Structure 1
Amino acid sequence: MNTADTRDAEANNPTNGDPHPRRQRSSIPTFIFISLVLYVLTDRGTEDSVLRNQYQEALESLNHQLGNYSAWLNGTESNFTLPTADTNLTPLVESFMTFGPELVPETSSYYSNLTGFWRGDIRFYNLTDLPVPSDGEVVPEWYHLAKDFVAGANMTNMTEVAERIGPWNWTASNKLAISVGDKLVYPEKATGYANVSQEIAMIHGKIDFSDPDSSDEFRLDFDGVHFVKNGSIYAFAESNSRPSDIRVLPSLIPEQRINETAHVIAAEMTSRIAKLKEKISSGKIDTDSDDDDSPKSGCSFLFFGQVDPTDVPQDLMKELEDEIDEPTGITTVPRPPMKMNGVVVSKNCGMLYVLKDINGLKSERLYRKITSYAGFSTIVNFILLVLFTRQTSRSGSATGLARVSRYPFLAQSLIDAVAFVGHITLGILAEGRPAISVLAPAGLSCILFVQEAQFAVLIGQIQAPEDVETAIRPTPPPAPTTPATTTEPSASNGNDNDDSDETTPLNRPNEPAPPAAVPPTTPPTIPPHQQSFFRFLIHHIRTDPTARLWTIISFFLIVVFRIVVMLSLPLLFIGSLYAFLWIVQIYRAVRRGRTSGLSAEYLIGTTLGRLYFLLYFLACPKNVLDIEPRPWVYLIALIMIIQVIVLLLQDIFGPSFFLPGRVGTIDSYDYHPPMPLPDPESPEQSLGDCAICMDAILVDPSLRDDKKSEGGGILGKHRLWGQGARKTYSLAPCHHLFHTACLERWLAIKNICPQCRRPLPPL
């Protein structure tokens, strides 16, 4: 048996040389282990059991509260007692707002359903530290009401006050957002509350205070009642960690409306109990936690609101609201604006906010607005995708990829990643059909993100040889001053095999051969078994352009997903991407001395499509996300337009047309240096063989250019090749000679030398 057979036998014998052979590990235990881990990670049985117990406890508590409340309503013995109303509260609130009267139905009306989103400015008052009026200034009456109102609260112990107030900066809040759910209570006759008033609706929702400096928000949950006839709102507002007791709501309203309000609240509690029982019996346990990252506070607030009346008769207003809720296509009266004034006050923290002209938008109208936006966004994203596909088909060759910069496509991929996350978030927040409609632009944004990132990676792979540093950078040989002779294989020596690895295109006697290609110097590498994983990862990212690019994309995506909740940082991030979208492409065109290779169709269309989203969200005051206009967005738009104009002018006047002469001069490599002609008496008029097609590079005798030497004589057989013939050959920096046509076809595929694999400059 020979050595190879012995080696193969040893390789095929698992017990050779090992008295205790290692058994191959079965895949079944691994599969079972992975399945167990997945089961533990996905099993929600314990969590559902805990939530079910919490639901049961909440149900028992509601039943107990309703029993005491019903006994109090019936005048029997009960543990419930309605708190005494503060006599200073109503006069203090009416110092900043006026509760509306009932209107004449034939001439005016209120909006009966306030479900929607309300936003506006607020003004803060610290009731415990009111400014001292100057001499001669009339002291407002509410000064004394405010002092009497907070006199009963424990405001002397500053430690307790600071704990109740919490970390939120109440004085900095100047904006307010309210999401409202407004509904009438329709209990069944079997509940005993069949005759509840249909003029009082239960209202609930969330109040968000915003800090303009930090873009943080503080949220309050409120529950209250809405008097439909006069548009007044009375509600309790508490931090989400302190649920409110709706049974004490009658203590806030006028005395003549307490009885009917109390019955509406009892019916609402009955309805909540029925819904909770249905959830428990059906097993539809809500596993979503209500906890959020907003600051917590021990301040208890009261919310009072008054809807502004309209000049629309009540019957026409009902027709309008019915059409908004369920569109049928009928013509209605013009939609009047929804406005509201209000007061949010806290006794135990001594704070008061005044709400002036809060603008409202009905939920149905907002959802239609989201649907319209989704339609336009889908069209714009589809146009961007078509333009990108057409551009990639134009720049699909190695020559085209060498001309474009990867960073504009990388920036656009990050913008589309933000758009994808934003549209998905908007779809989650919007319910029903709007949530489905925003999936179309979200899907197109995802496709754009993936394809642009892949195209950026492809450009990086093609342009990777540009980053390779070599120890020696050979230059094209100078024009020879001695006659050139061609060496051909001799038929007499009988040796047809050439031992040399490479045939130089030009052999000149008495001159040294061109310098041999020296491989790039690389630092010594540490064996993989001696490297830590972190060091190996860093080395791989530094040396592999593809890994480096994907690391950059991943990092930015992590940042994007992290900051998408914080509004100010994404705006700054996206604004920076927009502002410098085409700058790198302009720089590359100047540095390489070649035009961008981007078509005017792609540049103009992509810029206009990107500006649509930028101007919609940062210039339109009524966008779907309710982002306030930013004045600097117009500067970014102007910068983008200027960049596109510069790129278009580079195609006409040259890449460095806007630079001074000395700065704008680009030292480009000349592939057609003057070359000495072969001896006219040689059998084959050739400079050598092409390194690509291996055919001879022949000299056309008709293109010889007879020139006189400096001494006045004719060069004769030392004549140089003429300018026209010079275009037929190309000499690379590594001294490999090609047909120009062959090299052009090669560079359309790769931009490296086909022999030594060194990067080649543009031809």
Structure 2
Amino acid sequence: MLTSGRGDEVSTTRDNYLNGLQSLNFQLANYTAWLNGTESNFTLPVEDPNVTPLVEAFVTFGSEIDPQHGSYYSNMTGFWHGDVRPHNLTSLNASEAASSWRHLSEQLMLPVNLSAVPDLLGSWNWTRSNKLSLSMGDKLITYEHDGSDHDGIAIIHGKIDLSEPDSSEELRLDFEGVHVLSTGSVYAIAESTGRGMDLRTLPALVPEALRNDSARAVEAELTSRISKLKEKIESGSFDQDGSEAEDSPKTRCSFRLFAQLEATDIPQHMMEELEKEIDEPTGISTVKAPELVLEGVLLSQSCGILYEIKHAVGVQSQRLYRKITTYSGVATIVNLVLLALFRKQAAQSSSAIGLSRVSRYTFLIQSLLDAISFIGHITLGILAEGRPSLSVLAPAGLACLLFVYEAQMAVLIGQIQAPEDAPSRPAVPTPPPAPPPNTQAPGDSDAPMTNVSTDQPAPAQPPTVPTQPALPARQSFLQFLWTHIRTDPAARLWTILSLSLIVVFRIVIALSLPLLFIGSLYSSMWIMQIYRSARRTRSSGLSMEYLVGTTLGRLFFACYFLGCPKNILDVEPRRWIYAVALFMFAQVLIITLQERVGPAFFLPKRMSRVQTYDYHPPLPLPDSEAPEQTLGDCAICMDAILVDPSLRRSKSSDGKERPTIGRAGGLLAKVSATQKTYSLAPCHHLFHTACLERWLAIKNICPQCRRPLPPL
């Protein structure tokens, strides 16, 4: 898009395509001549006769079955996962040495130069690999032979990923092969990414009876690839080769893949109907799809490595994409519910009093969870194709909105609660005026008296030269940044959020302890709210609807990917996720009890007693002869704070002032009511209680001196 087809990079890519087209034309010409029995530069390589017996010791190849009683899957396009068991053919262990295939492996390794094996193996830890993943494309080839069309052979291609349990790295191999539909057998060659493969050598792997049909299928595939390459060159739509940007191959071993599909008990015509419905769904009822399973062997004669593939389970691409679309719809609804619950709770807690009750870390943790959700869904959308890629954008976009709103909420809460953590500013005492020179301070009887003659002028004082104050040292940028982060709560919160996001990106991309990190986030989501409510002896203000709905919505994603055995990412279930779910609901129960019983109900009495500030202390009543019987003026509305007439001072017959009491029993009630009408702040500014309540709903600082105020 940036070069519009005129840059040097596009020109280089076009030259590579032209060179590739020329090479394919040359290969096809020689291959066709070899098939027709004319002079050719191509010769089919001869496979070692010990390969097939060794492979059959691990895999039993299938045969044609009665189409009325059973069938094989004809389309293997999809994603496969299975376990592998490595065997080092150059150094057999005790159990392998006693096996029936020991002599076959020895015969296979006789022509191999063992001194060159370590250099070919590379840096990959072959003996630790225990997992295998396959992404496979299966394309049915129609070829002409003996004047008629045949379609019993399919060309397969894809990638093989080997992984080990304690490492996030993978060894990737590209493979090309043939799939015999009538027997469900697979024969393929595999090389490290970046190393070329000659498709014409595939017929050497198949049995003699299928060699001719496989050779014709390979010829048809080469012709098809040449035609597609010509179309790309003519249209100028060049694909960038991603293999060039990958790391250098970890190995130079050449592999052969032999696999066998598991037969099903479904008749052939019903299997064809099922696969047609999977590829192009119309809504008709079909038989239940059986599990797609294969077993096989991945063999490298040059390196003496054999991997035994056990029960690899596959999911066809179309079924997986529909599963992703279904998941995206459910995830979109869950995120919409989470967004609606958050907006409703944010509206309820929009006042300063509401924001002072909730914990900023609760929303900060949720924003990190939504950041992980956004990154994960976007990555899934990039890897998926077609409609699933677009459907995943919906939950990703909602997760991004949730992240932004919750991060803003956390910053706002931090700004409102910042005065709580600010140190109190004590009043600076004014120093007494210094006594004049040559005089005695009052009350200092021990100080000698100095006689000062009024006839003689005082000695001249040297003129005082004003000194210029020293300029502070100029701070470096890092010092200024550190001071700003340390003193500004908003900057400190954004810094913590940014560092947390960097950790999240690293975890999601590098897959370094992601499950432990996510589990810890879920476990601590409500803990900080419980701690704040108990510490401040105030309820959280979070509604039961928000608590339960948010907990269920968050647990949907965690329990799906870590509890469901057939999730779309094929993540192995972790049983500890159910303990995390129970722990979260226990936290919700504690918050509910804090609302009903008390914020610190679970603490001992000696720990739950928190000294709170009394805004209504007893104040002396105004003098009875004062023109206005008030306690003073409100610092907010500037109106007088009136005293109840029944409590005003009056003189008795003995000349003493006392408050007038209408009824003795109602005195305490009247005093209490009067005290509730005024509020005295810790900074000794007096307010109407109603005025201060309205002010604290906006800000929790004194409107006069700007000092932080405790909850009213």
TM-score (norm 2): 0.89
Asked if structure 2 preserves the Cα contact closer than 8 Å seen for 1:339 and 1:359, the reply is yes
The aligned length equals 660
Equivalent in 131, 139, 145 of residue 93 of structure 2: 131
Please state how far the C-alpha of 1:194 moved relative to its aligned partner.
Answer: 8.2
Matches within 5 A, 1:256-335: 256-290=209-243, 291-293=245-247, 296-335=250-289
2:574 equivalent in structure 1: 630
Aligned in 2, Cα 1:636/1:75: closer, same or farther, shift over 3 Å?
same
Asked if structure 1 preserves the Cα contact closer than 8 Å seen for 2:624 and 2:648, the reply is no
Matches within 5 A, 1:88-167: 88-132=50-94, 139-155=98-114, 157=115, 160-167=116-123
Per-residue displacement from partner, 1:702-734 (whole Å, max 9, x unpaired)?
Answer: 35799xxxxxx9983699982232111111111
**1: CA distance, partners of 2:471 / 2:54:** 78
**1: CA distance, partners of 2:8 / 2:493:** 43
Asked if structure 2 preserves the Cα contact closer than 8 Å seen for 1:183 and 1:203, the reply is yes
Asked if structure 1 preserves the Cα contact closer than 8 Å seen for 2:332 and 2:398, the reply is yes
1:409 equivalent in structure 2: 363
2:127 equivalent in structure 1: 171
Aligned in 2, Cα 1:296/1:393: closer, same or farther, shift over 3 Å?
same
Aligned in 2, Cα 1:715/1:109: closer, same or farther, shift over 3 Å?
farther
1:429 equivalent in structure 2: 383
Asked if structure 1 preserves the Cα contact closer than 8 Å seen for 2:621 and 2:649, the reply is no
1:659 equivalent in structure 2: 603
Asked if structure 2 preserves the Cα contact closer than 8 Å seen for 1:705 and 1:722, the reply is no
**1: CA distance, partners of 2:5 / 2:353:** 55
Please state how far the C-alpha of 1:193 moved relative to its aligned partner.
Answer: 10
- The answer to which of 290-299 and 100-109 deviates more is 290-299
**2: CA distance, partners of 1:465 / 1:113:** 66
Equivalent in 636, 642, 645 of residue 698 of structure 1: 642
**2: CA distance, partners of 1:526 / 1:84:** 88
SS at match of 1:716: strand
Aligned in 2, Cα 1:527/1:416: closer, same or farther, shift over 3 Å?
farther
Asked if structure 2 preserves the Cα contact closer than 8 Å seen for 1:704 and 1:722, the reply is no
Asked if structure 1 preserves the Cα contact closer than 8 Å seen for 2:325 and 2:388, the reply is yes
**1: CA distance, partners of 2:36 / 2:424:** 96
Asked if structure 2 preserves the Cα contact closer than 8 Å seen for 1:161 and 1:349, the reply is yes
Please state how far the C-alpha of 1:368 moved relative to its aligned partner.
Answer: 0.9
Please state how far the C-alpha of 1:293 moved relative to its aligned partner.
Answer: 4.9
Equivalent in 634, 658, 664 of residue 716 of structure 1: 658
SS at match of 2:535: helix
Asked if structure 2 preserves the Cα contact closer than 8 Å seen for 1:196 and 1:264, the reply is no
**2: CA distance, partners of 1:396 / 1:100:** 69
1:461 equivalent in structure 2: 415
Per-residue displacement from partner, 1:129-165 (whole Å, max 9, x unpaired)?
Answer: 111359xxx922211111211222221x2xx433321
Aligned in 2, Cα 1:347/1:525: closer, same or farther, shift over 3 Å?
farther
- The answer to which of 168-177 and 598-607 deviates more is 168-177
**1: CA distance, partners of 2:286 / 2:162:** 35
Per-residue displacement from partner, 1:513-571 (whole Å, max 9, x unpaired)?
Answer: xxxxxxxxxxx99969x333232222222222222222222222233223323335332
SS at match of 2:311: strand
1:737 equivalent in structure 2: 686
- Are 1:614 and 2:558 an aligned pair? yes
SS at match of 2:260: strand
Aligned in 2, Cα 1:473/1:600: closer, same or farther, shift over 3 Å?
farther
Aligned in 2, Cα 1:649/1:233: closer, same or farther, shift over 3 Å?
same
Identity of counterpart residues, as a percentage?
62
Q: Which amino acid aligns with 1:692?
A: I
Equivalent in 11, 27, 31 of residue 69 of structure 1: 31
Q: Give 5+ residue unaligned stretches, structure 2.
A: 429-468, 661-666
SS at match of 2:509: coil
1:490 equivalent in structure 2: none
Aligned in 2, Cα 1:756/1:268: closer, same or farther, shift over 3 Å?
same
SS at match of 2:309: strand
- The answer to which of 122-131 and 533-542 deviates more is 533-542
- Are 1:223 and 2:176 an aligned pair? yes
Aligned in 2, Cα 1:601/1:704: closer, same or farther, shift over 3 Å?
farther
2:513 equivalent in structure 1: 569
Q: Which amino acid aligns with 2:405?
A: Q
Aligned in 2, Cα 1:296/1:715: closer, same or farther, shift over 3 Å?
farther
1:516 equivalent in structure 2: none
Equivalent in 327, 334, 357 of residue 311 of structure 2: 357
- Are 1:209 and 2:162 an aligned pair? yes
- Are 1:554 and 2:498 an aligned pair? yes
- The answer to which of 142-151 and 371-380 deviates more is 142-151
2:350 equivalent in structure 1: 396
TM-score (norm 1): 0.83
SS at match of 2:513: helix
Asked if structure 1 preserves the Cα contact closer than 8 Å seen for 2:142 and 2:217, the reply is no
Please state how far the C-alpha of 1:294 moved relative to its aligned partner.
Answer: 8.3
Asked if structure 1 preserves the Cα contact closer than 8 Å seen for 2:506 and 2:512, the reply is no
Aligned in 2, Cα 1:525/1:630: closer, same or farther, shift over 3 Å?
farther
Please state how far the C-alpha of 1:339 moved relative to its aligned partner.
Answer: 0.9
SS at match of 1:730: strand
- Are 1:86 and 2:48 an aligned pair? yes
SS at match of 1:280: helix
Please state how far the C-alpha of 1:657 moved relative to its aligned partner.
Answer: 0.5
Q: Which amino acid aligns with 2:166?
A: D
Per-residue displacement from partner, 1:472-529 (whole Å, max 9, x unpaired)?
Answer: 289xxxxxxxxxxxxxxxxxxxxxxxxxxxxxxxxxxxxxxxxxxxxxxxxx99969x
SS at match of 1:121: strand
Please state how far the C-alpha of 1:176 moved relative to its aligned partner.
Answer: 1.1
Per-residue displacement from partner, 1:580-615 (whole Å, max 9, x unpaired)?
Answer: 001111111111121111111111110010011110
Q: Give 5+ residue unaligned stretches, structure 1.
A: 1-37, 475-523, 707-712
- Are 1:344 and 2:298 an aligned pair? yes
Aligned in 2, Cα 1:731/1:568: closer, same or farther, shift over 3 Å?
same
Equivalent in 361, 373, 386 of residue 340 of structure 2: 386
Please state how far the C-alpha of 1:457 moved relative to its aligned partner.
Answer: 1.1
Q: Which amino acid aligns with 2:612?
A: S
User: Over the residues paired in the alignment, what is the CA RMSD in angstroms?
Assistant: 2.5
**1: CA distance, partners of 2:72 / 2:356:** 66
Please state how far the C-alpha of 1:43 moved relative to its aligned partner.
Answer: 9.3
SS at match of 1:48: helix
Please state how far the C-alpha of 1:471 moved relative to its aligned partner.
Answer: 4.0
**1: CA distance, partners of 2:142 / 2:647:** 101
Per-residue displacement from partner, 1:358-405 (whole Å, max 9, x unpaired)?
Answer: 111111111111111111111110000000000000000111111111
